[in-house]
């Protein structure tokens, strides 16, 4: 079995990842670490976790095989490096770190330690996105020309904390959502972005100079151009993902979500077809792939390198918004 230690008494672990680990036949949660001993104990009790600790050292010395890191973003780097040094596999939340240089350090450390490092880009595990990727790879829309991603949401009140107040913790919508859009575009298109131009805004929710809305235009290696919209402040917007090709269009609705929801429609000269896809829980599939990777079978659904790519892309979007110029994307891989 794989014994997990949770680094961070977080909302995402409570809402999705604890269940996803327990959904595996060989997954077990051994301990949780919080910087506050009281929060660690309360979190362990509420979630039926046998042990609660308040230092990373204590967690890494306990009988665990892997850590799931879901602390605020500025903490991921040091926590992942310490876990790798201790020989524990690491599933880390996105963004991997605050800078792409730090993310590269994490990937190098994982390689040196011989541990598996994954980035928790859950959308790669969505049946909808996998169906789109397969349809494109099979040539069903001909040559891809352009893509549009609609991923502007309303940040729930219980999450209106560090994301909109703490730049030093990696707040802002670009590190929160643009990283996912960059990764999902790479995954669905099977292509890498070369360049981005972006505008950001503070539409009234985020403070401390942080952005709560972004629109990005991406150029991919194949020549595809894409646009993406990320936001925290749009209460009534739908999400979606479209890819338009020479012979067809894929139009997915309500698919930029944590749930296995939404629909994917293929429109060609023959008419319209709803694509069917599996409805497995996204986070559970992420865990299944990760456990297989630990056993030497395949890779996590998003690797550390994928995490470097998405963070490099988000970093370039922020640089573009600040400079008013298009910025090249070079993950230095």
149 versus 266: smaller Cβ distance to ligand NDP = 149
Site membership for ligand NDP, residue 161 (CB under 6 A)? yes
Q: Does 71 bind ligand NDP (CB under 6 A)?
A: yes
Contact between 257 and ligand NDP by CB under 6 A: the answer reads: no
- Report CA 103 to chain centroid distance, whole Å: 14
For ligand NDP, the closer CB: 85 or 259: 259
Quote the Cα angle for 76-77-83, to 5°: 85
Angle at 249 between CA 246 and CA 251, to 5 degrees: 160
Report the nearest approach of ligand NDP to the CB of residue 121 (Å): 7
Question: CA 60, CA 66: separation in Å to the nearest integer?
Answer: 9
159 binds ligand NDP (CB under 6 A): yes
- Report the residue from 2, 4, 5, 10 that binds ligand NDP according to the rule CB under 6 A: 10
- Give 176 or 211: the residue with its C-beta nearer to ligand NDP: 176
Contact region with ligand NDP (CB under 6 A), list: 140-148, 155-163, 292-300, 314-322: 155-163
8 Å CB contact between 174 and 183 = no
Q: Is 151 in the site for ligand NDP (CB under 6 A)?
A: no
Q: Any contact of residue 228 with ligand NDP (CB under 6 A)?
A: no
8 A C-beta contact, residue 39 and residue 16: no
d(CA 234, CA 232): 6
Scanning 97-105, 156-164, 191-199, 203-211 for contacts with ligand NDP by CB under 6 A, the matching segment is 156-164
Kindly tell me the burial class for residue 253, based on how many C-beta atoms sit within 10 Å of its own C-beta (0-12, 13-18, 19 or more).
middle
Give the orientation angle of helix 304-323 with respect to helix 179-189, to 10 degrees: 120
Q: Which residues bind ligand NDP (CB under 6 A)?
A: 8-12, 34-36, 39, 70-73, 93-94, 120, 122, 159, 161-162, 176, 258
């Amino acid at each position: 079995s794989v014994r997990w230690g949770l680094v961070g008494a977080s909302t995402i672990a409570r809402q999705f990842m604890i269940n996803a680990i327990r959904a595996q036949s060989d997954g077990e949660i051994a301990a949780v670490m919080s910087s506050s001993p009281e929060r660690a104990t309360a979190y362990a009790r509420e979630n039926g976790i046998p042990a609660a600790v308040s230092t990373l050292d204590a967690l890494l010395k306990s009988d665990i095989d892997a850590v799931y890191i879901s602390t605020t973003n500025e903490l991921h780097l040091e926590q992942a490096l310490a876990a790798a040094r201790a020989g524990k596999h690491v599933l880390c939340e996105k963004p991997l770190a605050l800078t792409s240089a730090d993310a590269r350090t994490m990937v190098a450390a994982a390689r040196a330690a011989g541990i598996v490092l994954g980035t928790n880009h859950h959308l790669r595990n969505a049946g909808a996105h996998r169906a789109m990727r397969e349809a494109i790879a099979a040539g069903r829309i001909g040559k891809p020309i352009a893509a549009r991603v609609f991923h502007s949401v309303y940040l729930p009140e219980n999450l209106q904390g560090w994301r909109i107040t703490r730049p030093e913790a990696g707040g802002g919508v670009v590190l929160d959502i643009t990283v996912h859009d960059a990764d999902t575009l790479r995954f669905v298109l099977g292509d890498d972005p070369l360049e981005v131009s972006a505008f950001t805004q503070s539409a009234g929710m985020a403070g401390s100079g942080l952005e709560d809305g972004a629109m990005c235009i991406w150029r991919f290696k194949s020549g595809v151009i894409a646009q993406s919209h990320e936001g925290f402040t749009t209460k009534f917007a739908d999400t979606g993902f479209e890819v338009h090709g020479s012979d067809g269009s894929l139009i997915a609705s309500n698919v930029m979500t944590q749930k296995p929801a939404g629909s994917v429609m293929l429109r060609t000269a023959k008419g319209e077809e709803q694509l069917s896809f599996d409805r497995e829980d996204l986070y559970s599939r992420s865990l299944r792939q990760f456990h297989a990777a630990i056993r030497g079978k395949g890779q996590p659904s998003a690797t550390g390198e994928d995490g470097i790519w998405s963070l490099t892309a988000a970093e370039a979007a922020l640089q573009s918004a600040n400079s008013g110029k298009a910025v090249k994307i070079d993950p230095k891989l």
